[in-house]
Amino acid sequence: MLDNNSYVYKKEVDWSVLQQGVSIPVTIQVVFQTTINKFLPRGQSKDIYLVLEGKTYKARLVNQKFDERKYPNRKDILQIRYHPQSEIAERLRSIFAVSYRYILEERNSLPENQRKFIKVPEEQKEYLAIYTTDYPDTYLLECITQEDTKIIREAMANEDEQEYEASINYNTVDYTATIATVNQMVKVRKLNRAIGETLKFLYNYRCQICGENISARYGVNIVESHHIDPFVESLNNNAENQVIICPNHHRIIHRARPVFNRRKLIFVYHNGVEERIILNQHL
């Protein structure tokens, strides 16, 4: 089962995060979606608490109203909102100083109508991770800064992909981490694991390739998250880079190294065998 710190969203830091809040498209966040729908209908909002670095800040949670006749299949869009002068916004601007400085400079050099398309370059990107807590109105925020990413990149340079994935899937402790890297490793692995666990829950612990949960008849759930672009190289733990597969398929993929065709959602093996993703709600 999912634990209390369930994954809600991983947001790339942009102007909105630094000023007024985060929009959360409710797609793969199954747990969040079920709990939120119970007490926050469309068009309504409520007070929530955000915990960042052990400190609690007030904010609003809004379930955005939209024309349901115009967009009949649209999922809810939840927003966490705060004021640009609020303490939380100020704190985020100070933690994400790299993004803030970059976007501010870009904004000052661009006409107003182009400002909302400003993207921080790939190697400078920073992220805000949002989790649920034991309390339904309280969310935990964790910041992954450019400095954190730099440290993780150095630590990952000599890591083995399969060992790293095993540490995510089976929550094993990394004894090789040095004191200097341990905080970053814990933070990034927690996010990676939380996204993976949410996806496993979404697929009801079944393999996206064979559609089975062979372990279920033994009363357990054994399914694994595999990174399409190896994490040790890409550092990409986004849901779109994770596929949920059974241990057999996982071993085969690492040994046979098929090429993944993203458009067709097919693993193409070097002997010509093709295997399609048959369960898909997030790729």
* Binding stretches for Zn ion (CB under 5 A): 165, 207, 209-210, 226, 246, 249
Contacts of residues 179-187 at CB distance under 8 Å and 24 or more positions apart, as own/partner, are 180/151, 181/151, 181/152, 181/154, 181/155, 184/148, 184/151, 184/152, 184/155, 185/152, 185/155, 187/129, 187/142, 187/144, 187/148
Q: In this complex, which beta carbon is closest to Zn ion, that of residue 194 or of residue 209?
A: 209
Virtual CA dihedral for 86, 88, 91, 95, nearest 10 degrees?
Answer: -140
Q: In this complex, which beta carbon is closest to Zn ion, that of residue 210 or of residue 283?
A: 210
Q: Backbone dihedral region of 101: left (phi > 0), alpha (psi from -120 to 50 degrees) or beta?
A: alpha
- Minimum distance from CB of 248 to Zn ion (Å)? 6
In DSSP terms, which residues pair with 180 in a beta bridge?
A: none
- Minimum distance from CB of 219 to Zn ion (Å)? 19
Q: In this complex, which beta carbon is closest to Zn ion, that of residue 86 or of residue 162?
A: 162
Q: Are 260 and 277 in contact (CB under 8 A)?
A: no
Q: In this complex, which beta carbon is closest to Zn ion, that of residue 125 or of residue 249?
A: 249
Q: In this complex, which beta carbon is closest to Zn ion, that of residue 65 or of residue 257?
A: 257
Spatial distance between the Cα atoms of 97 and 106, rounded to a whole number of angstroms? 14
Residue 145's nearest CA partner among 123, 166, 160 is 123
Q: Write the DSSP assignment of 41-85 as a string of letters.
A: -TT-EEEEEEEETTEEEEEEEEE----TTTSTTPPPEEEEE--TT
Q: How far is CA 21 from the centre of its chain?
A: 17
- Minimum distance from CB of 241 to Zn ion (Å)? 11
Q: In this complex, which beta carbon is closest to Zn ion, that of residue 125 or of residue 250?
A: 250
- Minimum distance from CB of 226 to Zn ion (Å)? 3
- Minimum distance from CB of 212 to Zn ion (Å)? 6
Q: In this complex, which beta carbon is closest to Zn ion, that of residue 249 or of residue 282?
A: 249
CB-closest chain residue to Zn ion: 207
- Minimum distance from CB of 216 to Zn ion (Å)? 13
- Minimum distance from CB of 174 to Zn ion (Å)? 17
